[in-house]
Chains A and B, each alone.
Chain A
């Protein structure tokens, strides 16, 4: 059986600036990020024969190809379920490369999520059509349960009840991310750390979530170049090997509203992803020098630590205490500041940070990084990666 594990790599990363108002179209952002990633890898548009993005991305693969000057495409694919797609794009690209369907695949995500359509704003139209997704939403939307923060808050409240976690425990995640962003010049919140007191004083969004439990909204784009490890070794940058990549959905899964299964205190789909990542890589939590955990809302960072095996059920509150996930803690999480601190690019900026950590080029570089875990959107069918130094 063909495997991509260790035989494929991320060879280039690129991004636009992260802002609240890019002032240009999403297609232009996509093109700029793809150019930057190709430059980083030392490749030309004509080298690209595959493109992968999210189903939620507004830029067709063929449109990006036209703008960038990519010629023939032999592979194009979309990954579904919002931010759960992030690492899935790399999985699809790696599969295409490993099977010879394509040689060089660019994954991209580009949006004006702050100045354009804001995911956090209630949209009465989201449940409008009797598709299977529209019907799922229709058990929630009429009651005003229609924003990502509120969807997550429902899980967070149950988690607090069962495990005794508090809003302060969630706040420690936000404080850590903002600490990291404060020393990352690319971060929107560069130079703006917060205290736990500020977290507690921030306004309610959907109890038990405060404003500072919720990630920011951003305009921007990130692109990644995936090719074979062999080819990557001949390119400009040292490769970040894709040693594991996985997608996962759990039994009884819904998009953000899986309230009807188990006890609402876990993320079974992330358990599926984690199990596959550890088996495929032959590595485990103790082998990770850093983790990029999807942090659109703080409570799910705790849940992920438990699902991925960094700590036991209900123990994440202790794990994040005393700076445990800060850059000098036992597991540095999101050294770039995550989506809470750097930017909300639907998880793609986290993959780029993992690559930088492996290269040794991050603004908040950790010592001796060999393996980095990356996860994608939580509460939805999701995905993950383990990237390793060559």
Chain B
């Protein structure tokens, strides 16, 4: 039951990822879907109430300093903004992986804190700016009024035919939303945890590294946003829980993978049940799994879509060295890399304000 030393905690993994993304340098994105054009300029200036004729009136523009219609510089982001139904498979930016790791580890809140734009010149009709993104910084964890979080910073440069036309520094705070006291739930719902708001500990190997708890907030923290934090959208795929299985889910919420153990004969059993199949004892305890495992079988789910999850995703039967099997998602790994026999280690994902699921990530040699 001794937990192996966990080589890397979440912070170390985040830092390592951030360094890799910084090293990746500038990554070109997709060119503007539509070249700079009069209709989009007209809509934008109309919406913002900007009546400057150099943006919309050809004659006035011809007489002005540019000699032709130009786009408002503040529209720079508009030209290359992905659509509402952005195809998630399209090439992303170096920022995506960092945001995803934060999202996946409970830092699901986001608030933009900085946006500084520099315009080198006006854009003209027909030009197609291309954005290039550099990941430039990760700072944290910081305690803020919203909750513990990391500041994530990146820079975008827009180019037209190799010429830098505008730049932007963008910074967000990705934070772990504070939990609000919840009403106890009825039959079948996971037990509420008003007294011990567990956090989505990541990568905790077992009982030697139980989940971090939110430390009591300092006075200055308990100010602006306290009580305003929106509850996360409930994850739709909830387990049913009863007296026989509650210990498991309570363990997951605390960063422990618990395996039922017969208090009399010591037999381990997963999934758990009320009566030991070997000795008929109903006296139960549990041990905390080491957090290591091996993929015994797996599927890559593509269709149909599953509520609350993007596809494809991997679900595996994982065999534990303790001698039981357990089902969970394999994360932090491309589906094509998963194989039977692959060593994995325990990790966790906070699915919503209440549910934390144990999952599995590749265990590097």
Contact = CB atoms under 8 A, between A and B. Distances in A.
Interface of A: 120-122, 124, 127-131, 134-147, 150, 153-155, 157-158, 161, 203-208, 211, 257, 259-260, 264
Interface centre among B244, B297, B300, B340 (most CB of A within 10 A): B297
A263 to B, nearest CB: 9
A121 B242 CA distance: 26
Given A139-B271, A142-B238, A144-B301, A130 B315 contact: no
B210 interface: no
Contacts of B4: none
Interface centre among A131, A138, A208 (most CB of B within 10 A): A138
13 contacts: A121-B304, A131-B240, A135-B240, A135-B241, A142-B235, A142-B238, A144-B308, A154-B315, A155-B297, A206-B301, A259-B297, A259-B317, A260-B270
B321 to A, nearest CB: 16
A65 to B, nearest CB: 35
B241 A264 contact: no
Contact of A128 (B188, B302, B327): B188
B303 interface: yes
A130 B242 contact: yes
Contacts of A129: 188, 240
Contact of A127 (B238, B301, B312): B238
A144 B306 contact: yes
By Cβ-Cβ distance, the 4 closest A-B pairs, closest first, are A138-B239, A130-B242, A207-B300, A158-B297
Interface string B275-312: 00000000000000000000011111111111111001
Contact of A144 (B237, B238, B241, B340): B237
A121 B303 CA distance: 9
Interface of B: 187-188, 235-242, 244-245, 270-271, 296-309, 312-313, 315, 317, 324-329, 335, 340, 351, 355, 357, 359
A124 B244 CA distance: 22
Nearest to A159: B297
Nearest to B252: A142
Given A150-B301, A157-B298, A204-B302, A141 B237 contact: yes
Given A141-B239, A144-B329, A206-B300, 13 more contacts: A122-B304, A122-B306, A122-B307, A135-B245, A137-B240, A138-B239, A142-B235, A143-B357, A144-B308, A154-B299, A155-B297, A158-B297, A206-B301
Contacts of B271: 135-136, 139, 260
B241 A138 contact: yes
A260 B238 CA distance: 21
A137 B327 CA distance: 11
B240 A154 contact: no
Contact of A205 (B188, B302, B355, B359): B302
B240 A130 contact: yes
A150 B315 contact: yes
B301 A157 contact: no
A142 B306 CA distance: 10
Contacts of A138: 239-241, 245
Contacts of A136: 271
A25 to B, nearest CB: 25
Contacts of B340: 157-158, 161
Contacts of B296: 158, 259, 264
B238 A147 contact: no
A147 B303 CA distance: 9
A146 B306 contact: yes
A200 to B, nearest CB: 15
A260 B351 contact: no
A122 B305 contact: yes
A129 B245 CA distance: 13
B300 A143 contact: no
B304 A120 contact: yes
B238 A145 contact: no
A158 B318 CA distance: 12
Nearest to B245: A135
Contacts of B317: 154, 158, 259, 264
A2 B305 CA distance: 51
Contacts of A137: 240
Contacts of B315: 140, 143-145, 150, 154
A270 B245 CA distance: 30
A135 B237 contact: no
A259 B308 CA distance: 24
Contact of A142 (B237, B244, B297, B302): B237
Nearest to A209: B299
Contacts of B270: 260
A116 B308 CA distance: 23
Contacts of B238: 124, 127-128, 141-142
A264 B295 CA distance: 13
A143 B297 contact: no
Contact of B302 (A120, A206, A257): A206
A138 B236 CA distance: 12
A124 to B, nearest CB: 4
A369 B307 CA distance: 48
A130 B312 CA distance: 29
A140 B238 CA distance: 10
B251 to A, nearest CB: 14
Nearest to B302: A204
B188 A130 contact: yes
A147 B300 CA distance: 12
A187 B307 CA distance: 33
Contact of B241 (A130, A145, A155, A158): A130
Contact of B297 (A131, A146, A157): A157
Interface centre among A128, A131, A157 (most CB of B within 10 A): A157
